[in-house]
Structure 1
């Protein structure tokens, strides 16, 4: 159908929904807005759906949620016995999250698929744990992670607790496309409860077991006992779902000096104290820094709304604060896990770490020094989750740690997505280990750089919204494939990885990348530097990842700055 046909179809289909009709009537003469809302369907991929809230086929709304859920139910019912295991549903603090979660549950019930619905906010890692803990067939979490307030999203998880992979996403999409919006019905809530199809999950069914399992991830519990009283933490949940589980975990491991940013403690769908609820954004820490000065804190934690990511700020020896990058946090945790296990004689010979291709190469150097294998995946923590399952199925490696540069960390196998609660435990323990040595957390990072070389990583994002933006992103990627550069900022390109073709080309010779197909280009440069270009899977952005290294900080930063400028020019 054309844009206008789609528009009028919605006015007809949802004529009994006054709020939707009002919103659509208000844009009747706005051609640009009509085009953006109706030129396509909100895409459903391996990250599920994510988009701006509003009426339209290309917006997050209850009708797209119901249609996606009917698609999920249809996919699960291709194996009816499996579908009987049900679907676990969680949600965060965003606008419409609770409503979307209930609609998800009641559509599933109408299709005959049991639904386990959490009774209040829960983080992504708790949902991931619950799918496995309850032996469910799938999971759904309503969240848009760290996006601005006008966004919401719908993530689907498989029975292994990881986000669904490409094959499952394609199967769900196939059914969604064959489904009319008007075919999606809700079961009456009381009827669903009475029939046993809808089951509410309270405080005890999952949370206690999850927290107990997280506590087993401590490497040196005695450090928490001996040094914990000296550790002063400021924590901000950024109005999200981390408030309860992070604080509970810290309390139960004996860390009582935890000050919470009161203004950001409670759920707030408008995230009114911050521009974006993103722990990567320095602006998100303004209130935390103020509180840290009042209580003389050593470390600051910030979790995003669905608490799958953790941001950290630490003091140096002069009392100045440093907001750590995801790469820095990940490498400190990786080094701590490996060095502690080696010292204790518990480092397994088949140990393995996993990171995404756009995560720092410093992790490779660290693993190499400990004789530990490191595996690389495409961006998206679902691929790290898949790798964990492969290790367990084959029995060839013991998973030790996985991370992404975008503040996602995991050291467990009972959760299959990044876990801000897990990360809070590990960072706390590293901070205690540093205090026991008489150094700061910041000092530890400098020690690692001194040993392995200085690594600098930057991400440059360009937002290109709407239909025109999508076309421009495709044009940029197509141009780079048709005429790949020979050098960037004077550094020779030694190999090109084209993940869409599935090839790595070096000196005219092609070999397979061994990873799934994805619209990503990765330019390997001399000296172990690299630049990666990829469209975002969840936002209208094209992203440049720039990695440089050198023995000294100034040289690594100079190389990175030059690469960033040259790479941005490639996008023009």
Structure 2
């Protein structure tokens, strides 16, 4: 037995994971032992996420205690008032989440940092809201969001209510490494209560979030809520109780929850993969919508920070909207409800450019960031001014935030806003399809697609190869500009060059003459790349939309096929 494994067995506070590890040792499962002890779960801007099990490369109580110790030491070094402000902790419905949250509380209070711990499961947006509501120094959510059942995670918010970004991720990671070699100091929850270091957040806290959304001017459009109906699923997650309450507050009395998926269940028994983007994940809520002839079929992912929408068509079938379509519809709607010239809206570099066109047309301020909500919200805080207030941001992976009550994606407030948009349109005799068509006719039909492409193992770094031989055309279209976020430049085909005001990232963006676009993100850890494609197709004045859609689909097929062939 190696000294590292022996030391782990001595430190591990969990008898279950100790037995699991001992079983691997008894069976001499060297391959599994090597996987678990070849390194430790990397802490980054999304915190930790991994499979639950024994060893430093898995999610378990010891990893949580070491991670929380690293966070505590970093907070104490960086925020002189951390011991006054404290940390809020929430958790989802996975089997280990409450235990991990309580272990985190024991570590933080053991370092003298007060903790606000939710008494029951909490949607991720509630914890992000709670950081600022309580003026906490940081926040932690124990959740693996929409990952498979065997996963769990540890997500960290900074005192501004947004996800951590550099240099905090690196600073916390360095302290975790030190903690992993140190004696850990913990306080039992009973001791923490006695010492005034533990506050349990019960119904009043959950109601504070509910009331804040109910008082939001952006969610105050109560136009004919009875005109529409919704089928809803929490997808075995934590969103149902709050989603139903918020919709009821807003006057929506025709809401039909999928009973089989309403209660938190970290086993996710009715879905193969608890991600509303995955094929089949929306089947039960669409069936519920068919049963009630509902206007919408909507879903939150298991920690309720994302929103998926399917809309009834003229034929009575239900069609999923893409994240980009929901983002454009919400952005346009919210801009119509405020002074657009003073509004700030944003998307990521891989999201559709339609919101940018809408914002410019409405006279609003627009910004673009790297992929991830940590960038969308932190950058928004930097950019907003007294005369340029943050309004809305989204990313194509079903993440949206409405206003500044929550500085992260919030599938609950987005659900209310989208229901209110749908009801307002219905009161005018219009549908979401009508609104989408009007946006396409005004700004061009924007069609987006994503592909992951596997490369040959051992192949040279694809990003370097692409930079060495930049294409002059793709799918018979001239490349008019190449944005290289690693170099921080935009090179135009006429020889001009501009600097890019974004953090360095291995991303290449090819702008084509027609307005179409290809975004390439090489993986830094495996031989594959992610490619994001956008085709923009003008819709003629008297032309049926279907014709433009068919043209755009043909162009998209050619663009993807040609581009992928060039990478092989």
Same fold, TM-score > 0.5, yes or no? yes
Which residue is 2:271 aligned to?
274
Cα distance, 1:539–1:410 mapped onto 2, change above 3 Å: farther
Which residue is 1:548 aligned to?
535
Which residue is 2:381 aligned to?
389
Cα distance, 1:253–1:154 mapped onto 2, change above 3 Å: same
Separation of aligned partners in 1, 2:13 and 2:212:
49
2:225/2:251 contact within 8 Å kept: yes
Question: What's the CA shift for 1:560?
Answer: 1.8
Which residue is 1:503 aligned to?
489
Which residue is 2:542 aligned to?
none
Question: What's the CA shift for 1:219?
Answer: 4.7
* Partner of residue 466 from structure 2, selected from 468, 480, 488: 480
The residue matched to 1:112 in structure 2 has which SS?
Answer: coil
Which residue is 2:395 aligned to?
404
Question: What's the CA shift for 1:413?
Answer: 0.9
Cα distance, 1:547–1:4 mapped onto 2, change above 3 Å: farther
1:231/1:432 contact within 8 Å kept: yes
Q: Deviations over 1:412-457 (max 9, x none)?
A: 1121001111111111111111211212222221222122111111
In the alignment, structure 1 residue 257 sits paired with structure 2 residue 226:
no
Which residue is 1:561 aligned to?
557
1:126/1:207 contact within 8 Å kept: yes
Q: Deviations over 1:173-228 (max 9, x none)?
A: 12112222552343112111111112111010x2222112212345584643xx22
1:495/1:524 contact within 8 Å kept: yes
Separation of aligned partners in 1, 2:126 and 2:185:
28
Which residue is 1:169 aligned to?
169
Question: What's the CA shift for 1:300?
Answer: 0.9
Separation of aligned partners in 2, 1:476 and 1:37:
29
Which residue is 1:33 aligned to?
32
Question: What's the CA shift for 1:16?
Answer: 7.8
1:315/1:442 contact within 8 Å kept: no
Q: Deviations over 1:116-145 (max 9, x none)?
A: 111111111111110000010000111122
Cα distance, 1:290–1:421 mapped onto 2, change above 3 Å: same
The residue matched to 2:243 in structure 1 has which SS?
Answer: helix
Cα distance, 1:93–1:543 mapped onto 2, change above 3 Å: farther
Which residue is 1:296 aligned to?
293
- Compute the RMSD of aligned alpha carbons: 2.6
Separation of aligned partners in 2, 1:239 and 1:541:
32
**Counterparts in 2 of 1:52-131, with a 5 A limit?**
52-78=51-77, 79-131=79-131
Which residue is 1:454 aligned to?
445
2:219/2:417 contact within 8 Å kept: no
Cα distance, 1:43–1:15 mapped onto 2, change above 3 Å: closer
Which residue is 2:212 aligned to?
213
Separation of aligned partners in 2, 1:166 and 1:514:
16
**Counterparts in 2 of 1:12-51, with a 5 A limit?**
13-14=11-12, 17=15, 19-23=17-21, 25-26=23-24, 29-51=28-50
Cα distance, 1:50–1:426 mapped onto 2, change above 3 Å: same
Question: 5+ residue gaps in structure 2?
Answer: 539-547
Separation of aligned partners in 2, 1:450 and 1:335:
14
1:106/1:186 contact within 8 Å kept: yes
Separation of aligned partners in 1, 2:326 and 2:13:
51
In the alignment, structure 1 residue 421 sits paired with structure 2 residue 412:
yes
Which segment drifts farther, 409-418 or 275-284? 275-284
1:521/1:532 contact within 8 Å kept: yes
Which residue is 2:315 aligned to?
318
Separation of aligned partners in 1, 2:163 and 2:29:
37
The residue matched to 1:77 in structure 2 has which SS?
Answer: helix
Separation of aligned partners in 1, 2:510 and 2:320:
28
**Counterparts in 2 of 1:230-241, with a 5 A limit?**
230-241=227-238
1:233/1:300 contact within 8 Å kept: yes
Cα distance, 1:173–1:269 mapped onto 2, change above 3 Å: same
Which segment drifts farther, 302-311 or 455-464? 455-464
The residue matched to 1:280 in structure 2 has which SS?
Answer: coil
Cα distance, 1:229–1:185 mapped onto 2, change above 3 Å: same
Separation of aligned partners in 1, 2:30 and 2:445:
51
Question: What's the CA shift for 1:556?
Answer: 1.7
Question: What's the CA shift for 1:261?
Answer: 0.2
Separation of aligned partners in 1, 2:265 and 2:379:
35
Which residue is 1:192 aligned to?
192
The residue matched to 1:26 in structure 2 has which SS?
Answer: helix
Cα distance, 1:430–1:102 mapped onto 2, change above 3 Å: same
Cα distance, 1:410–1:463 mapped onto 2, change above 3 Å: farther
In the alignment, structure 1 residue 242 sits paired with structure 2 residue 239:
yes
Cα distance, 1:439–1:349 mapped onto 2, change above 3 Å: closer
Separation of aligned partners in 2, 1:43 and 1:16:
21
Separation of aligned partners in 2, 1:270 and 1:495:
47
Question: What's the CA shift for 1:14?
Answer: 3.8
The residue matched to 1:136 in structure 2 has which SS?
Answer: coil
Question: What's the CA shift for 1:380?
Answer: 0.9
2:230/2:294 contact within 8 Å kept: yes
Separation of aligned partners in 2, 1:482 and 1:25:
51
The number of equivalent residue pairs is 556
Separation of aligned partners in 2, 1:435 and 1:252:
19
Which residue is 1:373 aligned to?
365
The residue matched to 1:127 in structure 2 has which SS?
Answer: helix
Which residue is 1:494 aligned to?
480
Separation of aligned partners in 1, 2:261 and 2:525:
25
The residue matched to 2:203 in structure 1 has which SS?
Answer: coil
1:218/1:429 contact within 8 Å kept: no
Separation of aligned partners in 1, 2:81 and 2:220:
43
Cα distance, 1:408–1:550 mapped onto 2, change above 3 Å: same
